[in-house]
Amino acid sequence: MESNKEKQFLKIYDELADKVFRHCYFRLSDREKAKDAVQEVFCRFWEYLEKHDDQISNAKALVFRIANNLIIDHYRKKKDESLDALQADGFDVANDDYEAIMTMLSGRELTALLDCLKKSYRDVIVMRYIDDLPVQEIAGIISERENTVSVRIHRGLKELKKIIENEKHD
């Protein structure tokens, strides 16, 4: 017989496993590493459920925070990017920028272009438009204010537009 914690875990797993995989895959750019990350995310989520008796107010935010922390750990080990890049600031998003960019790009092109962005911009754009998370949840996941997240999305889209324009002229 399943306990309440097991039921809660299975419900969250069923609801979020694919989204967490997509999130990890876009950030790690490696299918196997993304699979490993998803497995580790849900192992840590289970450990959290076991240790805490209180009800989780936002399981989705917790799961994505665990995923982000694992991804950060991965990049810390690689030492490819400075963690200071996570501290950028930003403004409100214009959806037409996003729509214009998406109509011009295929999935592979988008992944390559996203890799050109600062990590802080890339992360919020992936969470917003690939993972389809609202700004409020992204703010909870990365422990930033909603306004900061909106600014990063706006600036990231603006930067993406510049990169696309430059590639057209090259």
The Cα-based distances of 137 to 22, 30, 43, 59 in angstroms read 17, 25, 22, 11
Q: Are residues 105 and 160 in the same domain?
A: yes
Domain boundary among 29, 47, 80: 80
Q: Which of 52, 80, 108 represents a domain boundary (last residue)?
A: 80
Q: Are 97 and 159 part of one and the same domain? A: yes
Q: Which residues form the domain of 149?
A: 85-169
Q: Write down the pTM of the prediction.
A: 0.56
**96 shares its domain with 69:** no
pLDDT of the chain, 170 residues: tens digit per residue: 567 888 889 999 999 999 999 988 888 888 899 999 999 999 999 999 888 877 778 889 899 989 988 888 887 776 433 333 433 433 334 444 555 555 555 566 777 788 889 989 998 988 888 888 889 989 988 989 999 999 999 999 999 888 888 877 66
Domain boundary among 45, 63, 80: 80
Report the alpha-carbon distance of residue 129 to residue 50 in Å, rounded. 32
Q: Which residues are CB-contacts of 136 (< 8 A; sequence separation ≥ 6)?
A: 146
